[in-house]
Structure formats: C-alpha cells, structure tokens
Amino acid sequence: MDEETYQKYKKLARGSWGKEFSLLKMMFNGFLGLMREEEDMEFELPMETILNILLNIGKARKQGRKIIMYPFNYGPELFVTMGLQPLMQEIFSVGLAPFHMNEPYLDFSNEIGYGDNPTLCNASRPLVGAYMQGAAPVPDYLFFLSTPCNSLAMNYQVFESLSNVPTYNMDVPYWAIEEDSEFYDGKVVEYMTNQCKDFVTWLEDQTKEKFEIEKFQQTMLRLNQARENIRDFNETLKNVPCPAGSQTGFWNWFFMSTIGGTQEAVDVTKFVRDSAIENVKEGVGGIEDEKLRIAWPYTHVFFDRDLFPWLEETYGAIAILDILGNYQVEPHNTSTLEKCYDSLARGTLDYSMIGSCRGPAEYYIEYVINYVKDYKVDCVIYPMQYACKHAFAMARITSEAVREATGIPSLIFGCDPYDSREVPHEAIQAKIAEFIEQVVL
C-alpha cells in the first residue's frame, strides 16, 4: 500500500471507536499494518474496501445507523435495502485470528463454563466471552439461520438470551432445488421465499421503516452483477496456471457477506475478476511457478498467515478456492419483485458452505468432485475444524468418493482455524509436507 493511502486510513481510524468496537479497531490497525507491507499495487482496491468495511461498522453508532449482526453464510442485501449496518459476526473470529486475539476470549469462555473447542465452534464461541467482558458490540438486531451447524445456532441462541436483542431465525431446508437431484423437493424455493418475505415484515416492524421495493430491486440488480463477476472470476481459475493467488477467492466471499448488494461490492468483485482475466491473457499465474493445484474444500486456517505463502514458495502449490471463496450463487433474473424474492431465496440456499452442507453428504461430495475435475486439481486438503461436526463427518466419505471418481488423494486433519494453540502452525505444516512429499509428488 502506498504511504499516502496508509496515512489516509491511519487518520480516518484515529480517536475512540467506543469500548464495544475496541477489538474492531485493533483488528483494523492490524490489517492496516499488514497492508502497509503489501507492495502489490494491484490489490489496492480490495485492501481499501476491506478497510472501509471495518471503518463503516466502527462508525455506525456515531452515524446513527442501527446494527444487525448475522452469520458468515448469509448476504446482507436485505439489510442494505433497509439502511441497516450489516455486521457479519465472524468478522471478529476470522479477523482476530491472524493477530491471535481470539485466545483471551476463548479462555474466558472456558473459564465461565461455556463449551470447549471440540464441542462448540470457535468461529462464534469467542463472541460470548467477548460479550461478557463488554468487548463485543451488542447489535440492535440479530439474525441467524438453522444451518450449516448447531454450533452456530446455539451460539446465537446463547447470545440472544444473554443480550435480549430482538432476533429473527430462518429455517434452511435440507432438500435440493435441482430437478434432476434424487433429493429434489419442488416446494423448497417457495418455502424460502415465504420466509424471506416474513423476515422483511419483521424488519419493518422492528425498524419502523418501510421496505422500499424499488430500492430492493436495485440492490438485487447490483447483487447479481457481483454474482456475475464472481462466476466469471471462478471460471478464470480453471486456467493453468491459475491466474490468482491462494487467498484471492476468499475475498469474494468476504465482500458478498459484508457488502453484497452495494455498488462497492460490484466494483471490487469486478476489479478482482478483471485482474484475473488480464493475467489469463498474459499467461501470468497467481504464483510464480505453479506446480501443484490443491482443492481446499474447507475454510482457511485463519490464524496461520504463513501457510499459503509457505505452500506457494516451497512447493509451487496453489490452493484454488476455499469453501467460502467458492461462492457458487448463480446470477438470477431480477426483473420483477417476485423474481427478486426468488433470487434472494435461491441465493440463501446456495450460499457458500450452505449450498454444499445444508443437506445430505451427497451435496458436498458432488461439490468436491466437481471442484477437483473443473479446476484440474492434484490433491485435496481438508483442514477440518474439530468442532465442525457436520463437515468433519463428511470428509472421510468424501475423500473416498473423490478417490474413486478421480483418483486424486486427500489429506484430512483436525485443527482449530481460530486458535493457534490447538494445532500449531508447525504441526500443520508438517502434516501437509508429509502428504505432499510422500503421497502427491
């Protein structure tokens, strides 16, 4: 990042953000520090967008915007339409992990007898500890989904019960929307659409604001432009060499989950897409000398900033897309109000991790097999969160199915992406090194 931009953001962040946003401010400064070291000017727009997102949340109270907190597997398009400040809760656990700042809140959660890592997931467990220490913002509204996991639903229930914040919960059905699927149920989209409408009514009641249809349609239009950009970007990654680095796809998820439906999201996803297209044209890879392509059908190990650079430098190995970055919501027709709702419902059903994990294991198996085939992958790595029972319990059957369908080997290991003490960087590196050297190469 150039010095001028750095100084601009340093200045913007000055002053108190209030105690409840002190963690967010620390995170902001942490990222700003990292971005200052980043010399690649190409990524200035994504970097600035990330900083703007954090700044906006931090300023919401002072600027009189009501805050709605929600989980990582939902887009904020309705909140954008209603003029609410979206706060994706996992911004904390994911954003604090690289700076090892989850640990004190996890320790505190342990001390007060609120779960442990293999039982409740640390993606949202620190929230309860942080809340009880006054270090987490208490939103004006809370929203969560019944999937992909119990951990998330329970953490939100506990948070709701401690904070008494008005809460809306949406049920995500199990069945498929593709007519050719053996799990197809023709009523799923209608069920989701009705729930989306019900949620809108709830938001109106709570905020005492009218839901403006025109605004909603514009939001959905922008949302679909961003979806198009991501679809095109994902297509470029099929090229050899892969035109983007191991972490680029992840940004798309981050933008869709925090500012989906805004013009900023359209601009930044277009930027990411165009950079990749440019690289394809020039035959340039996301890393210098690509030798190995890895499917990463789970989350990043968020605390471990060095993992992907190490893989790239040591083995010329690139992780194509992680499960979140592998955002697979197709652009939809949004020409009428009903179609907007339809698109909203489908977007919820297909959202990153929801689409592949809300139903039977076959969804996930199919997703990984397609991933391996489409992206010409050499091996699959599953760095499973110990507490992520729904996903961890699919890894073995999936790896067997992938081996059978494609002959590609897999590495499955348990870790905690949010807490470096569970399985440290060195141990993760050693497992991956052994796998690559003894099985893949």
Partner 1 sequence: MSVLKEFEEATPLKNPWIDSWKEEGKKILGYFCSYIPDEIIHAAGILPVRMRATGCTDTPMGDAYLTPTACSYTRCCLEMANRRQYNFLDGAISCNSCDQIRRLDDNIRIKAPFPYQYFIGVPGNINDLTIDWFKHELNKFKTSLEENYSVEITDDKLRSSIKTYNESRALLKELYMLRKNPKPPISGTDIMKVLLTDVSIPREQFNELLRKLLKELDGKEGESNHKSRLMIVGSQLDDPEYVKIIEDLGGLIVVDSFCLGTRTFWDQVDETKDPLDALAEHYMTRVSCPRMSGKQSERVDFVAELVKEFDVDGVIFQRMKFCALWWAEIFIIRKKLKELGVPFLDLEREYVLSGAGAMKTRVQGFMEILEAK
Residues contributing to the site for partner 1 (CB under 8 A): 113-115, 118-121, 144-147, 149-151, 153-158, 160-161, 167, 169-175, 185, 187, 191, 194-195, 198, 360-362, 384, 386-387, 389-390, 392-397, 414
Distance CA 330, CA 297 (A): 19
| Residue closer to ligand SF4 (CB basis): 17 or 105 | 105
Pairing of strands 85-88, 67-70: parallel
From residue 325, alpha-carbon distances to 88, 247, 379 in Å are 16, 8, 18
Candidates 196, 268, 388, 436; binder of ligand SF4 (CB under 6 A) is: 388
CA-to-CA distance for 75 and 72, rounded, in angstroms? 8
Give me the least distance between CB of 57 and partner 1, in Å please. 25
Q: Which is nearer to partner 1, 169 or 429 (CB)?
A: 169
Cβ neighbours, 10 Å, residue 359: 22
Name which position in 152, 192, 287, 329 contacts ligand SF4 (CB under 6 A).
Answer: 152
Contact yes or no for 73/145 (Cβ under 8 A): yes
Q: Of partner 1, ligand SF4, none, which one sits near residue 409, judging by CB under 5 to 8 A according to partner kind? A: none
Q: Using CB under 6 A, pick the residue from 23, 35, 391, 411 that binds ligand SF4.
A: 391
User: 43 is in the binding site of which of ligand SF4, partner 1, none (Cβ under 5 to 8 A by kind)?
Assistant: none
Q: How far apart are CA 20 and CA 435, in angstroms?
A: 43
166 binds, among partner 1, ligand SF4, none (CB under 5 to 8 A by kind): none
Cα separation, 224 vs 140, in Å, equals 28
CB of 382 to ligand SF4, least distance (A): 12
Cis preceding linkage at 126, omega within 30: no
The yes or no reply on residue 151 touching ligand SF4 (CB under 6 A) is yes
**Binding partner of 428, given partner 1, ligand SF4, none, CB within 5-8 angstroms per partner class:** none
Cα distance between residue 314 and residue 21, in whole Å:
39
Long-range contacts of 157-161 (CB under 8 A, 24+ apart): 158/114, 158/128, 159/124, 159/127, 159/128, 159/131
Contact 177, 333 (CB under 8 A): no
Q: Specify the pairing of strand 67-70 against strand 379-385.
A: unpaired
Residue 167 near which of ligand SF4, partner 1, none (CB within 5-8 Å, type-dependent): partner 1
In the complex, the smallest distance separating the C-beta of residue 178 from partner 1, rounded to whole angstroms, is: 16
CB nearer to ligand SF4: pick between 149 and 196? 149
Nearer to partner 1, 308 or 367 (CB): 367
Task: Quote the CA–CA distance of 293 and 232 in Å, as a whole number.
Answer: 19
Q: Which does 153 bind (CB under 5 to 8 A by kind): ligand SF4, partner 1, none?
A: partner 1
- Residue that the structure tokens 């729930």 belong to: 195
Neighbour tally for 302: CB within 10 Å: 24
Q: Rounded to the nearest whole angstrom, what is the least distance from the CB of residue 194 to partner 1 in the complex?
A: 5
Q: In the window 121-150, what residues touch ligand SF4 (CB under 6 A)?
A: 121, 123, 148-149
Q: Smaller CB distance to ligand SF4: residue 86 or 243? A: 86
Q: How far is the CB of 177 from partner 1 (least distance, A)?
A: 13
Contact residues for ligand SF4 (CB under 6 A)?
121, 123, 148-149, 151-152, 385, 387-388, 391
